[in-house]
Structure 1
Amino acid sequence: MKQLKSISHVSILISVFTILFLSSCDNYGDKSQKKSKKVIINESVFINYATSGNISSDDHINIEFSREMELIKNSGGLIEEDIIDFDPEIKGKLYLKNPSAIEFIPDEKLKNGESYEAVLDLSKLFVLPEGEEADFDFSFNIFPLRITVSPNNPKVYVKDKQQFNSLDGTIRFSDLVDYNNAIKVLKAYQNNIELHIDYPNFMTSSTLNFNIQGIKRAYKEEKVVLKWDGSEIGSKDSGEQEITIAARDAFKLTGIRVVETPSQYVEVSFSDPIDESMNLNGLINLSGLTNLKYDINTNKILVYTEQHESGERDLIINKELRNIDGKSLKSDTTVNFRFGQVKPQIRFIDDGIILPGKEKWLLTFEAVNLTKVDVIIHEIFANNVKQFMQVNNINGNYQLQRVAQKIYSEQLDLIPNKESNLGDWEAFEIDLARLIDVSEDGIYRVQLKFKKDYSLFDCEGKTVENDNEYSYYSSGDYYNDEYYYPDGFHWSDKENPCSVSYYYYERFITKNVIPTNIGLITKGNSEAGYDVFASDLKSTEPIKSLKISVFDYQQQLLEEVYTDGQGHAKISNENDPWLLIANRGKEYSYLKIGDANSLSYSRFDTKGITVKDGIKSFIYGDRGVWRPGDTLFLTMIVYDENNDIPAKHPTTVELYNPNSKLIEKYSLSKNENGFYSFKLKTSADDITGVWLAKFRYGGSEFTKRLRIENIKPNRLKIDLSFNDKILKKGKNKAKLKVKWLHGGIAENLKATVDATVRPMKTSFEAYENYNFDDIGRYFSPDDIRVFNGELDSNGEKSFDIEFPPYNRAPGELKLSFVSRV
Structure 2
Amino acid sequence: MEKRESYGKKHRKIGSWAGLAIISVFFLLPSGCNHTAKQKSAQKPTYSIETAKEISHITSGIISSSEPIRIRFVHPIVDENQVNSPLKLPVFHFSPEISGHAVWQDEQTLAFVSDHPLSLGQSYTGKLDVAALLPSQKESALKEIDLAFQVAKRELVRLDGSFTAAQTGKASEAAFEGTIDFTEPCTIDMVKKSISLDLDGRDIRAVWMMREDQKRFTFTIPSISREKSTRTLVVRINSEPLGLSTGMERKFLLEPVKVFKVSRFETFQNGDRGFAIIFSDRLDMKQDINGFISVEPAVQFTMKKSASKILVTGSFKPGEGYAITAHKGISNIWGARLKEAAVHSVTFQNLNPSIQFVKDGIFLPSSNKQNVRFTAVNVRKVKITVQQVFSSTLGQYLQVAETNAQKTRSDNFNESDRVGVKVAEQTLTLSGKLNDKEQYAIDMSKLIRKGTLGMFLVSLSFQREDMIPETKAASYGNYTDWYNDPKAPGYMWRHARIYKPVLVTDIGLTHYGTGKHHVVIATDLLSAGPISGVTVELRSYQDQIIQTAVTNRRGKAEFTNVNRDVYYVRGKYRDNTTFLLNSAMAWNVSSFDVGGSEVNKENLRAFVFTDRGVYRPGDEVHLSLIVRNEEGTFPENHPVTLTLTNPKQQVALKSTLRKGKDGFYVFRFTTAENDPTGVWQAKITA
The answer, yes or no, to whether TM exceeds 0.5 is: yes
Alignment partner for residue 195 of structure 1, among 182, 202, 206? 206
Alignment partner for residue 354 of structure 2, among 325, 339, 345? 345
The 1:547–1:494 alpha-carbon spacing in structure 2 relative to 1, beyond 3 Å, is closer
- How far apart in 2 are the matches of 1:447 and 1:68? 32
- How far apart in 1 are the matches of 2:470 and 2:306? 32
Give a deviation string over 1:93-142, Cα, whole Å, max 9, x none: 678999999876655443111123457899999999xxx9x999774432
Deviates more, 1:57-66 or 1:281-290: 57-66
Within a 5 Å distance, the mapping from 1:401-412 to structure 2 comes to 401-412=417-428
Alignment partner for residue 512 of structure 1, among 501, 516, 520? 501
8 Å contact kept, 2:273–2:314: yes
- How far apart in 1 are the matches of 2:319 and 2:366? 40
8 Å contact kept, 1:156–1:271: no
Gapped regions of structure 2 (runs ≥ 5): 1-34, 405-411, 608-625, 636-659, 667-686
Match of 1:455?
467
The 1:223–1:544 alpha-carbon spacing in structure 2 relative to 1, beyond 3 Å, is farther
Match of 1:244?
253
The offset of 1:366, in angstroms, is 2.7
Residue 194 of structure 1: SS of its match in structure 2?
coil
Residue 423 of structure 1: SS of its match in structure 2?
coil
Match of 1:658?
none
Residue 455 of structure 2 corresponds to residue 443 of structure 1: yes
The offset of 1:259, in angstroms, is 1.2
The 1:145–1:702 alpha-carbon spacing in structure 2 relative to 1, beyond 3 Å, is closer
Q: Output the aligned Cα RMSD.
A: 5.4
Residue 309 of structure 2 corresponds to residue 300 of structure 1: yes
- How far apart in 1 are the matches of 2:506 and 2:629? 41
Match of 2:119?
111
Alignment partner for residue 549 of structure 1, among 517, 522, 537? 537
Give a deviation string over 1:474-525, Cα, whole Å, max 9, x none: xxxxxxxxxxxxxxx9999876645777544663222222223433343445
- How far apart in 1 are the matches of 2:634 and 2:93? 70
Residue 441 of structure 2 corresponds to residue 429 of structure 1: yes
The 1:46–1:58 alpha-carbon spacing in structure 2 relative to 1, beyond 3 Å, is farther
- How far apart in 2 are the matches of 1:359 and 1:447? 19
- How far apart in 1 are the matches of 2:211 and 2:598? 33
Match of 2:98?
90
Within a 5 Å distance, the mapping from 1:369-518 to structure 2 comes to 369-395=378-404, 397-415=413-431, 421-437=433-449, 441-457=453-469, 497=486, 502-504=491-493, 507-518=496-507
Residue 457 of structure 1: SS of its match in structure 2?
coil
- How far apart in 2 are the matches of 1:201 and 1:66? 34
Alignment partner for residue 326 of structure 2, among 314, 317, 320? 317
The 1:75–1:183 alpha-carbon spacing in structure 2 relative to 1, beyond 3 Å, is closer
The 1:39–1:390 alpha-carbon spacing in structure 2 relative to 1, beyond 3 Å, is closer
Residue 369 of structure 2: SS of its match in structure 1?
coil
The 1:39–1:97 alpha-carbon spacing in structure 2 relative to 1, beyond 3 Å, is same
- How far apart in 1 are the matches of 2:213 and 2:112? 28
Q: Which amino acid aligns with 1:435?
A: L
Residue 591 of structure 2 corresponds to residue 575 of structure 1: no
The 1:402–1:181 alpha-carbon spacing in structure 2 relative to 1, beyond 3 Å, is farther
- How far apart in 2 are the matches of 1:592 and 1:181? 46
- How far apart in 2 are the matches of 1:702 and 1:95? 30
- How far apart in 1 are the matches of 2:251 and 2:92? 50
The offset of 1:403, in angstroms, is 0.9
The offset of 1:238, in angstroms, is 4.9
- How far apart in 1 are the matches of 2:174 and 2:359? 42
Match of 1:171?
181
Percentage of identical aligned residues: 21
- TM (norm. structure 1) is 0.56
The 1:355–1:263 alpha-carbon spacing in structure 2 relative to 1, beyond 3 Å, is farther
- How far apart in 2 are the matches of 1:111 and 1:246? 44
The offset of 1:84, in angstroms, is 7.2
The offset of 1:565, in angstroms, is 6.1
The offset of 1:324, in angstroms, is 5.2
Give a deviation string over 1:326-375, Cα, whole Å, max 9, x none: 64311111123332223322233443223344352333333221111111
Alignment partner for residue 153 of structure 2, among 144, 147, 164? 144
Residue 401 of structure 1: SS of its match in structure 2?
helix
The offset of 1:412, in angstroms, is 1.0
8 Å contact kept, 2:388–2:422: yes
- How far apart in 2 are the matches of 1:561 and 1:315? 70
Residue 383 of structure 1: SS of its match in structure 2?
helix
Residue 67 of structure 2 corresponds to residue 56 of structure 1: no
Within a 5 Å distance, the mapping from 1:670-689 to structure 2 comes to none
Gapped regions of structure 1 (runs ≥ 5): 1-28, 468-488, 619-637, 652-696, 704-821
Alignment partner for residue 560 of structure 1, among 532, 548, 551? 548
Size of the aligned set, in residue pairs, is 563
8 Å contact kept, 2:42–2:60: no
8 Å contact kept, 1:370–1:414: yes
Q: Which amino acid aligns with 1:422?
A: L
Structure number with larger C-alpha Rg: 1
8 Å contact kept, 2:454–2:505: no
The offset of 1:382, in angstroms, is 1.5
Residue 205 of structure 2: SS of its match in structure 1?
strand
Which structure is higher in RCO with an 8 Å CA cutoff and minimum separation 6? Answer: 2
The 1:108–1:160 alpha-carbon spacing in structure 2 relative to 1, beyond 3 Å, is closer
Q: Which amino acid aligns with 1:401?
A: D
- How far apart in 2 are the matches of 1:168 and 1:347? 35
8 Å contact kept, 1:523–1:531: yes
- How far apart in 1 are the matches of 2:627 and 2:105? 47
Alignment partner for residue 577 of structure 2, among 574, 588, 592? 588
The offset of 1:145, in angstroms, is 2.1
The 1:254–1:114 alpha-carbon spacing in structure 2 relative to 1, beyond 3 Å, is same
Within a 5 Å distance, the mapping from 1:721-740 to structure 2 comes to none
- How far apart in 2 are the matches of 1:254 and 1:38? 46
Within a 5 Å distance, the mapping from 1:116-127 to structure 2 comes to 116-118=124-126
Q: Which amino acid aligns with 1:437?
A: R
Give a deviation string over 1:535-569, Cα, whole Å, max 9, x none: 44455555555432111233222222344566554
The 1:98–1:311 alpha-carbon spacing in structure 2 relative to 1, beyond 3 Å, is closer
The 1:141–1:458 alpha-carbon spacing in structure 2 relative to 1, beyond 3 Å, is closer
8 Å contact kept, 2:628–2:663: no
- How far apart in 2 are the matches of 1:314 and 1:98? 62
Residue 394 of structure 2: SS of its match in structure 1?
helix
The offset of 1:394, in angstroms, is 2.3
- How far apart in 2 are the matches of 1:182 and 1:556? 51
The 1:153–1:258 alpha-carbon spacing in structure 2 relative to 1, beyond 3 Å, is farther
The offset of 1:193, in angstroms, is 3.9
Alignment partner for residue 267 of structure 1, among 276, 281, 289? 276
